[in-house]
């Protein structure tokens, strides 16, 4: 009977240690995978934090650069602006102001703005072919076809190839 039991159950007793080893191996592999997943999640979180820090840093750098550019522009235009304000004050006080002095200050201000990227399109009094991208009729009742000769009455203004104000023109 014992031999019969050994034959019946002995076989499973031999398999049992192999099954335990396989189970142990699977559990170890599972634990290793869990640790790898945890490490991966931690790495992802760390990378997300670094990315957010880089974004914040870059945003701060851009804000600083913009601030510095604006500050430089205002510094460059400060002298002509104060001179214009002085001229305006003299006029308000009834004191004589020379038109040529005001024009010199205005030209200095324009030159400073041009040095900082402003572009004037069209010179007053100049005759040019009409371009609806650069020109605007002064009269709303006038329709001007492209390439029609027009006279510039007000210069246009652009910044970095973007038209800010179209030149005012007449036929």
Residues 6 or more apart from 84 whose CB is under 8 A from it?
102, 105, 106, 109
pTM recorded for the entire structure: 0.62
CA gap 119, 111 in Å, rounded? 10
Q: Give the tens place of pLDDT for each residue, 110-168.
A: 999 999 999 999 999 999 999 999 999 998 888 899 999 999 999 999 999 899 999 99
CA gap 115, 8 in Å, rounded? 99
CA gap 36, 136 in Å, rounded? 67
For the chain, state the CA radius of gyration. 40
Q: Give the tens place of pLDDT for each residue, 88-103.
A: 999 999 999 999 999 9
CA gap 61, 54 in Å, rounded? 10
Residues 6 or more apart from 96 whose CB is under 8 A from it?
90
pLDDT score of 1: 59
- Give the residue, 141 or 81, on which the prediction is more confident: 81
What number does CATH give the domain 118-171?
A: 2.30.22
Closest residue by Cα to residue 145 from 130, 167, 126, 135: 130
């Amino acid at each position: 009977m014992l031999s019969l039991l050994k034959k019946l159950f002995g076989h499973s007793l031999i398999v049992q240690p192999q099954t335990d080893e396989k189970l142990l191996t699977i559990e170890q592999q599972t634990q290793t995978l869990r640790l790898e997943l945890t490490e991966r999640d931690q790495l992802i979180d760390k990378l997300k934090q670094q990315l957010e820090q880089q974004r914040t840093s870059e945003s701060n750098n851009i804000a600083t650069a913009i601030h510095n550019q604006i500050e430089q522009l205002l510094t460059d235009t400060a002298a002509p602006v104060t001179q214009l304000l002085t001229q305006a004050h003299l006029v308000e006080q009834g004191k004589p102001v020379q038109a040529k002095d005001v024009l010199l200050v205005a030209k200095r201000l324009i030159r400073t703005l041009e040095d900082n990227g402003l572009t004037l399109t069209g010179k007053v009094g100049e005759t040019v072919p009409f371009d609806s991208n650069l020109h605007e009729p002064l009269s709303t009742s006038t329709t001007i076809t492209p390439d029609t000769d027009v006279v510039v009455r007000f210069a246009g203004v652009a910044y970095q190839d973007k038209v800010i104000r179209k030149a005012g023109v007449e036929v």
